[in-house]
Amino acid sequence: MASSAYVRFLELWAEVADLGQTSSILSWDQETQMPAPGNPARAKLQATLAGLRHEKLTATELGDALERAEGEVPPGSIEAAQLREGRREIERVRRVPRALAKELAEAQTTGHESWRRAREAADFALFRPDLERIFDLKREEARLLAGDQGRPYDALLDGFEPGMTEAQLVPLFATLRERLSPIVRAVRESGVVVDESAAKGRFPREAQLAFGRRVAAAIGFDFTAGRIDLAPHPFCSGLNPNDVRITWRALEHDFRSALFGIMHEAGHGMYEQGLPRQWERTPIGSAVSLGVHESQSRLWENLVGRSRSFWEWCLPVLHEHLPGASGVTLDALWPALNTVKPSLIRVEADPGTYDLHVAVRFELERALFAGDLVVGDLPEAWDARYEELLGLSASSVADGVLQDIHWSFGGFGYFPTYTLGNLIDAQLFVAATAVLGDLDALLRRGEFAPLLAWLRENVHRHGSRWSAGELVERATGKPLAPDDYLAERARLAEEVYGVRA
Ligand code: ZN
């Protein structure tokens, strides 16, 4: 029997969750529907909502209910998990004074604008003063969040990947560098160049959308509880399990961009649709971490969507929807989906080189927070690391240090979650294969339901009941490690390029 303090805590929390959902609807609307002149009014509206949410989270009544309930619920129970997650969020908000939060929000708004202008003009100096201010404010925020015991950069990681620390990430990235760099080098030295023409041609956007929708529905995205809209950047907005919105964009000359973008966002969306409905509007009703979220999108995009067996099912579907690809064969197409080709832009990078892009950002962020690097030296440091890890340097800062939006909104600690997603999805896929048997045979027949059901059972339905680390260990029987992922990368390099590294 739940205590009255616990019941009250959940009642109050539901309002906090509702404000979060409202803000998400407004963001989705802003990206997909709103006329651009609506921007200033929308920014004010969002600020008001953020203020209300802050008030509710720091209200004495919520804090009191939490404290009383903590003394009453059994350790290890669902109730205890609710309070743990609730306290985590409340503590994060409590530790940052209102004035600092406000200053950060303003710095991010101006920073976003100057980042956009700097990128257009390919001139870091236009962004530098704002980035310096954002970095200083984030460092202050991180110091407050970390308290006396913790480490500032860990406190920022914690905002995206609860429980993850720099100390855990350093050896992971060292291993990835050590094992991925030789693969990239061996591929380059092999002289093998994959012919990517099978993915290219002229493909009308409407036809690409119909194709993407068909594939998304086939793998399990529920369009009766979701929708897809055009947007400048693909994203997924999970308002609640019954209302999940994904977005897409297309290149007319290459169908990979839209298709894999849609499979990626559908993967995020299926996670949101599979979150436990009985815990809606409660602390553990939402996704556990960005890394786990990213594992769900990448699993469908990369491990399913780029596999040969999937394309045995998908090729006729491609032919049906995109007449421009009617002559494409499996043998011609498959290598073009699994290239290892160093490039400058992270969001366009192939899965074979993607983690090296993340490694660059992780190293730079660590150096910044350790005081070994100042914001003004970022462009040179960026280029040096790209040269070292990918063998390339950008001729313009627009394709270098200014390419990503993240630092303009103060998103330090965000990038590593992309790579965590890769490691987690590979480990989940191996574990699912062990249970489901011949997964390739299922994919070949277009039977995706068993895989989705396994993910529902082992990942989605738990919400934030367990930490990400515990969730992975429970689902796969071992702690998170890079081995399954690296084995997959080595196997693909051998199959596509005939190289062993
Ligand atoms: Zn994603």
DSSP string of 358-378, one letter each residue = HHHHHHHHHHHHHTSS-GGGH
At residue 116, the pLDDT reads: 92
Query: What is the per-residue DSSP string for 399-440?
Result: GTTTS-SGGGGT-TT-THHHHHHHHHHHHHHHHHHHHHS-HH
> How much distance in Å is there from the Cα of 483 to the middle of ligand 1?
22
3-state secondary structure (DSSP) of residue 234:
coil
> How much distance in Å is there from the Cα of 61 to the middle of ligand 1?
36
> How much distance in Å is there from the Cα of 269 to the middle of ligand 1?
10
Cβ atoms within 10 Å of 446's Cβ, excluding its own: 16
At residue 1, the pLDDT reads: 57
Q: Distance (Å, rounded) from C-alpha 368 to C-alpha 139?
A: 10
> How much distance in Å is there from the Cα of 383 to the middle of ligand 1?
25
> How much distance in Å is there from the Cα of 393 to the middle of ligand 1?
26
On whether the CB atoms of residues 112 and 127 are closer than 8 A, the answer is: no
On whether the CB atoms of residues 134 and 111 are closer than 8 A, the answer is: yes
User: pLDDT tens digit string along 194-236?
Assistant: 999 999 999 999 999 999 999 999 999 999 999 999 998 899 9
Surrounding residues of ion ligand 1, Cβ less than 5 A: 297
> How much distance in Å is there from the Cα of 265 to the middle of ligand 1?
6
User: pLDDT tens digit string along 31-86?
Assistant: 899 998 998 898 889 889 999 999 999 999 999 999 999 999 999 999 999 999 99
On whether the CB atoms of residues 109 and 410 are closer than 8 A, the answer is: no
On whether the CB atoms of residues 481 and 423 are closer than 8 A, the answer is: yes
> How much distance in Å is there from the Cα of 261 to the middle of ligand 1?
9
> How much distance in Å is there from the Cα of 282 to the middle of ligand 1?
24
- Provide the β-strand partners of residue 200: 254
At residue 108, the pLDDT reads: 87
What is the residue-level pLDDT of the chain in tens, covering all 501 positions? 578 999 999 999 999 999 999 999 999 999 899 998 998 898 889 889 999 999 999 999 999 999 999 999 999 999 999 999 999 999 999 999 989 988 998 898 888 889 999 999 999 999 999 999 999 999 999 999 999 989 999 999 999 999 999 999 999 999 999 999 999 999 999 999 999 999 999 999 999 999 999 999 999 999 999 999 999 889 999 999 999 999 999 999 999 999 999 999 999 999 999 999 999 999 999 999 999 999 999 999 999 999 999 999 999 999 999 999 999 999 999 999 999 999 999 998 999 999 999 999 999 999 999 999 999 999 999 999 999 999 999 999 999 999 999 999 999 999 999 999 999 999 999 999 999 999 999 999 999 999 999 999 999 999 999 999 999 999 999 999 999 999 999 999 999 999 998
Q: Distance (Å, rounded) from C-alpha 39 to C-alpha 440?
A: 47
Among candidate residues 85, 141, 161, 265, the one labeled active-site is 265
Pairing label, strands 236-240, 226-230 = unpaired
265: annotated active-site residue: yes
Q: What H or E segment, with its residue span, contains residue 236?
A: strand 236-240
Torsion of CA 461, 463, 464, 467, to 10 degrees: 40
> How much distance in Å is there from the Cα of 462 to the middle of ligand 1?
20
> How much distance in Å is there from the Cα of 272 to the middle of ligand 1?
12
> How much distance in Å is there from the Cα of 256 to the middle of ligand 1?
16
Give me the amino acid identity at 271.
Y
Q: What angle do CA 186, 183, 439 make, to 5 degrees?
A: 130
On whether the CB atoms of residues 244 and 237 are closer than 8 A, the answer is: yes
